[in-house]
Amino acid sequence: MNTLRPPPGWRWPDLSGRLLWGGVLLLVLGAVLWLLDGVRTSDGAAVALDPQRPDYRLERFAWDHCSPDGQAQWRLAGASLEHFPDGRSQVQQARLTQQTGLQKTGAGASAASSEGLLTVTAGQARASGTSPRQIDLDEGAQMLWQDSAGQARLQVNTGAMRWDEASQQVSSRAPVQVKAQGQTWTAGGFVYDIRQRQLRLTGAVRAVITP
């Protein structure tokens, strides 16, 4: 039986030093990978926001929706605004006002005048996007139309209503109470056409007429 033997004078290489350095390198590589994994985990936790919790909050919020000529048509203001990661916004103690003659100043301030325009107030307003086309107002919504002298000509009280830019309407499917010219009506809902200044009551309508 033949046995392989090293040639005369040949010695097995001493690998102890190389094994030692190899072990050190493996430890360093493992530590680096562990740190990188920790960084990825931390970054992931930072961007994985809870959609039910606001990502920022504004106090004494005001948003002006301007027409192409630069004059504001509407202003949404409130005691505070909370914005959520999915684009939703909630405004507390909301006030939506139709305006004319709004002019921007260099400091970003503004001034407006109203002539026979609408004001909608509510405990809360909800909208989506940075330039919302629909605003839902609830928690005791009220729509008020005043003439140029500031006298209330039409008052609408309901649980919730919606402002829609495309149709230029304010509407509600909730029970509503309407006061105008000393009379009171109740109905299942309403649609108010902003352009035509026409109020249409929907559902069962009842009137209380004071002689």
DSSP per residue over the chain, as a string?
A: -----PPTT------HHHHHHHHHHHHHHHHHHHHHHHHHHHHHHHH---TTS-SEEEEEEEEEEE-TTS-EEEEEEEEEEEE-TTSEEEEEEEEEEE-EEEEE-TTS-EEEE-SS-EEEEEEEEEEESSS-SEEEEEEEEEEEEE-TTS-EEEEEEEEEEEEETTTTEEEESS-EEEEETTEEEEESEEEEETTTTEEEEESS-EEE---
Average pLDDT of the residues of the chain: 75
Domains and CATH numbers, the chain: 56-208 (2.60.450.10)
pLDDT at residue 58, rounded to an integer: 87
Q: When comparing pLDDT for 132 and 114, which is higher?
A: 132
Query: Best-predicted range by mean pLDDT among 5-9, 44-48, 126-130, 184-188?
Result: 184-188
**By mean pLDDT, which of 41-45, 55-59, 137-141, 153-157 is the weakest?**
41-45
User: pLDDT (tens digit, 9 = 90+) per residue, 196-210?
Assistant: 888 999 999 998 877
More confident residue, 132 or 170: 170
Percent of the chain with pLDDT over 70: 62
Quick: pLDDT tens for 12-47.
555 455 555 556 566 666 665 555 554 444 444 444
